[in-house]
Each structure stands twice: as structure tokens, then as C-alpha cells.
Amino acid sequence: MTNYDGAVSSSRLLPNSRLLSSNNWGHTAYATGTCVTEAVDSYLLTGKPPAAGTVCTDAPQPFTEPIGSEGASTARQPGDPRPATVPSPGYRAG
């Protein structure tokens, strides 16, 4: 994981570079939100970098609801990026 201050500093040292920032949680931003994924895909396919100063903020943020918070749902919804729970081998319901 790149320290953000180091990424900013490196970007300033490299002529014609662009720093694509994201509020994503974790070690990677690609494929977690449309903004970063489209910017990276576009750059790789066309060579055109994202606009200077682009900050992506559309990635889902985990841990935003306190455990047991009123009205919080743990059920998976369509498009939920969390993996489905699969019972372990030998599991018997009931």
C-alpha cells in the first residue's frame, strides 16, 4: 500500500503524471467503485489519464454502521459486493 503523502510527493516529481485519489478502504481501489475502475480502464485502453485532481468517492465503505445499530440490515442486497455465505461441508440445517 502506498502512503498517500508519498504518492503525492512522487506525483509531483514525475512530469506528466497523474495521481488518481480514492476514499476506498483497503489496499486496492480497482473494481470496488465505478470511478476508479473506469479511470484505470480508460487509461489502459486509450492512454488518456484522468483529469488532474480527480478524487473518486463512490466505493462502498465498510464498518459505517455500529454493530447492532437499530435498523441495520446484514442481509445481502442485489449488487452487494460482500461474498455470499456458503455453509461448510457437512452442515445440516435444523
> What pLDDT, in 10s, does the model give residues 30-82?
888 899 999 999 999 999 999 999 999 988 778 777 776 655 555 656 666 65
What is the Cα 46 distance to its own chain's centre?
22
Is 57 within 8 Å of 70 (Cβ atoms)? Answer: no
Number of domains composing the chain: 1
pLDDT of amino acid 80: 63
Q: Within a domain: residue 11?
A: yes
Q: Within a domain: residue 48?
A: yes
Helix, strand, coil in percent for the chain, rounding step 5: 25, 5, 70
Q: Within a domain: residue 61?
A: no
- What pTM does this model have? 0.60
Q: Within a domain: residue 77?
A: no
pLDDT of amino acid 29: 85
Query: Which domain range does residue 32 map to?
Result: 4-56
